[in-house]
Amino acid sequence: MSAGMAKVEEVFRDRSKRARELQAEGKKVIGCLCTFAPVEFITAAGLVPYRMAGSMRKPAELVEHHLETIACSFTRSVLDLGLAGDYSFLDGFVIPHSCDNIVKLYGIWAQTVKHEYGHFVNVPHTTSKASLEFFEAELNVFRKSLERYIGREITDEDLHRSIALHNRQRALVRQLYEFRKEDPPMISGAQVTRIIGAITSLPVAEGNELLESLMPEVREGRYVNKKGKAPRLMIYGTGNDDVPFVEMVEQVGARVVVDDLCHGTRAYWFDVGTAGNPVAAIAKSYLEKINCPRTYRQSPGTHQEDLENRFGYLYQFAQDFKVDGIILYVIMYCDTHAFDAPDIVEYLKSKRVPVLYLEEQYQTSATGRLKTRVQAFLETIA
Amino acid sequence: MEGPREKTTAQKSTETSKRVRLMVKDLAQKAHEARAKQEPIAYLFIASFYDDILRAMDIVTVGTENYAGLCAAKMVAEPFLAKAESEGYPRNLCTYATCGLGFDAMRRDLGGAMPPNAPDGGMEQPTVMLGTGMMICDPRYKWYQAAQRYTGAPLHVLGLLNPSHYYTHADFREFRDYYIRYVMEELRGLVEFLEQRTGRRMNWDRLSEVVDLSEKTIKVWHDTYQLRKAVPAPMPTEDALSAMVPGYFMMGTQLAYDFYRELYDEIKYRVDHKIGTITDEKYRLLWALSLPPWYGLVIFNYFESRGAVFPIEMVYHPPPPPQIPDAVTDPIERMAWRFYDAMTQRYEKARNHTGDPWVEWFLELIEDYKLDGVVFHQAMTCRTIHTGQLHQMNILKKHTDKPVLLLEGDIVDVRNYNEEATHKRIDFFIEILEQYKARHAQ
Ligand code: SF4
Ligand code: SF4
């Protein structure tokens, strides 16, 4: 393994290590949940955004007394880690209004895990003009709240610099995904999951350096799995931020070449505009460009047009990455995704893309039962 | 909701709330007539706060959650739930939604005819569907978004805002103006949408009258529920599950106003004459922020048979009469204030005390209604209202030693319910209440 990937493995193994080192140097680290936490503000404030994740490998236990089993199991896993002290190192946390489960998590987190800073960003569910104006006002309040915390102003210049850094990171991740268009892909799905897990635990500039150091290694073909032909898959879903599921899918003989996940393309397939008012630009891109069922897209007309408008990008991914099938992996009790699932299945079928729909608890993502279903799916598309 | 009249009657149910069943039937009838005359019909969520707009534009509404509750109470929801499952909607989604989606899917399959055994003649095909984002729950826009495949009706989602109940660290004065501005713009957007899609024009003078009437209705509804503080309890929760229908599905109508006036008079008479719900009232309980099992409202009778009554409940409660500055006269602005105010009333208090506005409300009700314990019901498929209950209990326990019970079930899907286990839990809880009261009597 070359230096870049070795570093990824090291960072991913102990995600909070670098954050704690930085704290020892006097930096403050802010936990962020979900793609809708506007990290640009945190970087602009000179703070380190740290993406909070769950753990598919650890059964949720402490959470039993705090959050019901009917809550989405990803949220429960994150809270469980918080209650166990895994996130005690954070100086603060920022939770956006992504979905009902995340909103609940904010209230519980604020009173049980506790950090010196906490903020909830209310994100509208629609993209109307009024929603955009509202979101911009809400982001300005977030900015003021951070200013109070750090004791200085966050200038437009700070924000522009931060936007450029985060856009750079998004561009680098997209570049990394380009290598997956090859057949065989030049990097595996599990490796990409680790890379994203690693860069989201580092200050954005350090994450960018890590990505830059990786590019030549990937380009040279050091991580290509040349073992013959294998079905190329896309994974669609929610907080799939840990490796067991992707690993399992790849171990049973598929290649995960692209995704539509919160810890994947959703966070990187857009840029924040660089001209004009930076807050308005952030509001606009988060609301209009992040593809997540939690943001309502008005139907342009017929049902078919609605499906095209909402899920056309999935088909585009499928074509660009020459996908043989898609796994819809919906975490159990995730309402926003589950309501969309029949529409997505209908749409993809109309496009003749094979689909496997899985609804599972976040923690049991790699169990034998699931494995059998994935294997059966692979046989049907072989 | 009309369920309790089908399955259970409190020993001294109010006469006024018995009228609700007929009112529900009339609502359905209005929708059937509107369809026959090809007039617009809107699918609408409960407690939408903007019903006034539809009333002023004379658009008939169909309350889709209400209909699912009705199907559950009549034990006919199962085929609709099964249909939704066969369409690919997981069983654990909100069963109001899956019942509605199943119904819509069947109606579509039947070429627009009503599915067999549809109570009250079924839900009419809507002309438009109105959802909300950031208000109460995600299914309030995801459900209708999904329903488009069956109804083909255009959906309008308003970005109405619940300022987060947990937002207690922040100063709301920083927010208020842009929250209100946002809601106003969204309400104007709704009027525009309705004008385009239904051909109806807004009559702004009429809207002002409707808004006045709604505010008056909220006030008298609220005042009526203040009377329920009396001992013995003059009106139980199962009556309130009916009595909420005019307020939550008919707001802005003279009928709703008259209903609460009448209810007020009846409750006042009961209070003055010390007429209680049950003969021997031993325990006064709070029905927490939990939706009821519409298929099994007899559990309230079970409590009553053990000497326990629910004088008040946190669901289907009237909104607080809004505190609107006098200078605000524009009806849209008044509606926005009504909305904002209801969401933020306990915010300051929570900030300085428990940190949780819901828990503040629990504590107020326990004190004001002289309650001995709290009963939660975890309706499995409604995450929005029923997650966070454990957390509420945890905080509540820090501020009161009143006994707390958690029951499990659902709103619509009887498969999530075990009657025997429920009765055992209630029996055990009554013993705890007895011990608690004995301890405190000493
Ligand atoms: S998995 Fe779904 S319900 Fe859970 S946090 Fe993500 S979007 Fe929300
Ligand atoms: S509040 Fe609960 S029961 Fe009501 S529509 Fe939302 S998820 Fe369903």
Q: Which amino acid is at A69?
A: T
Q: Edge to edge, what strands does the sheet with A117-121 contain?
A: A48-51, A29-32, A92-96, A117-121
Maximum distance among all alpha carbons in chain B?
A: 69
Q: Are B289 and B392 in contact (CB under 8 A)?
A: yes
Domain assignment of residue B6, yes or no: no
Measured in residues, chain B has a length of 442
Q: Dig out the tokens for B120 from the structure.
A: 């009250």
Taking CA B253 as the corner, what is the angle to CA B249 and CA B257, rounded to the nearest 5 degrees?
95
Confidence of residue B10 (pLDDT cuts 50, 70, 90): very low
Atom in ligand 1 nearest the alpha carbon of residue A292 = 7
Q: Are A233 and A252 in contact (CB under 8 A)?
A: no
Q: What is the ipTM of this complex?
A: 0.95
Domain assignment of residue A80, yes or no: yes
Mean pLDDT calculated for residue range B333-358: 87
Task: Give the rounded percent of residues in chain B with a pLDDT score beyond 90.
Answer: 81
Confidence of residue B168 (pLDDT cuts 50, 70, 90): low
Query: What's the confidence (pLDDT) of residue B8?
Result: 42
Rounded CA separation A176/A181 (Å): 10
Expressed in angstroms, the distance from the first to the final Cα of chain B is: 41
H or E stretch including B204? helix B204-227
Comparing alpha-carbon positions, the chain B residue that sits nearest to A104 is B388
Rounded CA separation A191/A30 (Å): 25
Mean pLDDT calculated for residue range B153-179: 79
Rounded CA separation A130/A107 (Å): 26
pLDDT in tens, A40-61: 999 999 999 999 999 888 888 9
Lowest mean pLDDT among A31-35, A105-109, A317-321, B83-87: A105-109
Domain assignment of residue B261, yes or no: yes
Chain A residues inside the 8 Å CB shell of B85:
none
Give the residue, out of B132, B316, B385, with the most ligand 2 atoms within 8 A of its beta carbon, to mutate for a pocket test: B385
A332 part of contact set with chain B, CB < 8 Å: yes
Q: Which amino acid is at B413?
A: D
Name the DSSP class of B120: G
Chain A residues inside the 8 Å CB shell of B393:
none
Domain assignment of residue A92, yes or no: yes
B137 C-alpha to center of ligand 2: Å?
Answer: 6
Domain assignment of residue B7, yes or no: no
Query: What's the confidence (pLDDT) of residue B4?
Result: 37
Mean pLDDT calculated for residue range B135-150: 95
State the burial class of residue A347 (Cβ atoms within 10 Å of its Cβ: 0-12, 13-18, 19+): buried
Q: Do A68 and B389 lie within an 8 Å CB cutoff? A: yes
| Top-confidence residue, A120 or B351 | A120
Name the DSSP class of A186: S
Nearest to B88 among A70, A332, A342 (CB): A342
pLDDT reading at B153 higher than 90: yes
pTM of the model: 0.94
pLDDT in tens, A206-265: 999 999 999 999 999 999 988 888 999 999 998 777 888 899 999 999 999 999 999 999
Give the residue, out of A32, A103, A334, A358, with the most ligand 1 atoms within 8 A of its beta carbon, to mutate for a pocket test: A334
CB count within 10 Å of CB A152 equals: 12
Rounded CA separation A352/B326 (Å): 61
Report which of B436, B381, B420 is spatially closest to residue B299, judged by C-alpha positions.
Answer: B420
Q: Are A328 and A346 in contact (CB under 8 A)?
A: no
H or E stretch including B341? helix B331-344
Mean pLDDT calculated for residue range B369-396: 94
Mean pLDDT calculated for residue range B159-184: 78
B235 C-alpha to center of ligand 2: Å?
Answer: 26
A282 C-alpha to center of ligand 1: Å?
Answer: 22
Query: What's the confidence (pLDDT) of residue B135?
Result: 82
The verdict on the CB of residue A337 being under 6 Å from ligand 1 is yes
* Domain total of chain A: 1
Task: Give the rounded percent of residues in chain B with a pLDDT score beyond 70.
Answer: 95
Rounded CA separation A37/A27 (Å): 20
Query: What's the confidence (pLDDT) of residue B2?
Result: 36
pLDDT in tens, B95-142: 999 999 999 999 999 999 999 989 999 999 999 999 999 888 999 999
Q: How high is the mean pLDDT of chain B?
A: 92
Residue with the two structure tokens 């030549």? A216
Domain assignment of residue B54, yes or no: yes
Domain assignment of residue A65, yes or no: yes
Buried b (16+ CB within 10 A) or exposed e, A360-375: bbbbbbbeeebeeebe
pLDDT in tens, A140-184: 999 999 999 999 999 999 999 999 999 999 999 999 999 999 999
Q: How high is the mean pLDDT of chain A?
A: 94
DSSP 3-state helix, strand, coil percentages of chain A (rounded to 5)?
55, 10, 35
B101, B179, B182: which to substitute to probe chain A, counting the most A Cβ within 10 Å? Answer: B182
- Annotate B404-415 with DSSP letters as a single string: EEEEEE-SS-GG
Q: Are B207 and B331 in contact (CB under 8 A)?
A: yes
* Domain total of chain B: 1
Give the range of the structural domain holding residue A130, as residue numbers without chain letter. Answer: 15-154
Return all residues near B227 (Cβ < 8 A) that are at least 6 apart: B234, B264, B267, B268, B271
Q: Which amino acid is at A204?
A: V
Q: Which amino acid is at A332?
A: M
pLDDT in tens, B220-232: 999 999 999 999 9
Omega within 30 of 0 (cis) for the link into B331 = no
Chain A residues inside the 8 Å CB shell of B178:
133-134, 137-138
Rounded CA separation B82/A229 (Å): 41
Mean pLDDT calculated for residue range B344-349: 84
Confidence of residue B7 (pLDDT cuts 50, 70, 90): very low
Q: Do A110 and B148 lie within an 8 Å CB cutoff? A: no
Q: Edge to edge, what strands does the sheet with A255-260 contain?
A: A255-260, A232-237, A325-331, A355-360
Q: Dig out the tokens for B43 from the structure.
A: 């699918």
Rounded CA separation B20/B76 (Å): 20
Q: What is the CATH number of the domain that holds A25?
A: 3.40.50.11890
B164, B172, B358: which to substitute to probe chain A, counting the most A Cβ within 10 Å? Answer: B164
Q: Edge to edge, what strands does the sheet with B155-158 contain?
A: B60-63, B41-44, B128-132, B155-158
Give the range of the structural domain holding residue B140, as residue numbers without chain letter. Answer: 15-441
pLDDT reading at B6 higher than 50: no
Query: What's the confidence (pLDDT) of residue B349?
Result: 87
Q: How many alpha carbons fall within 13 Å on the CB side of residue B279?
A: 1
Query: What's the confidence (pLDDT) of residue B1?
Result: 37
Omega within 30 of 0 (cis) for the link into A184 = yes
Buried b (16+ CB within 10 A) or exposed e, B121-150: ebbbbbbbbbbbbbbbbbbbbbbbbbbbbb
Domain assignment of residue A368, yes or no: no
Domain assignment of residue B5, yes or no: no
Q: Where are the beta strands (DSSP E) in B45-133?
A: 60-63, 128-132
Q: Which amino acid is at B292?
A: P
pLDDT reading at A367 higher than 80: no
Expressed in angstroms, the distance from the first to the final Cα of chain A is: 31
| Top-confidence residue, B384 or A159 | A159
pLDDT in tens, B29-46: 999 999 999 999 999 999
Domain assignment of residue B252, yes or no: yes
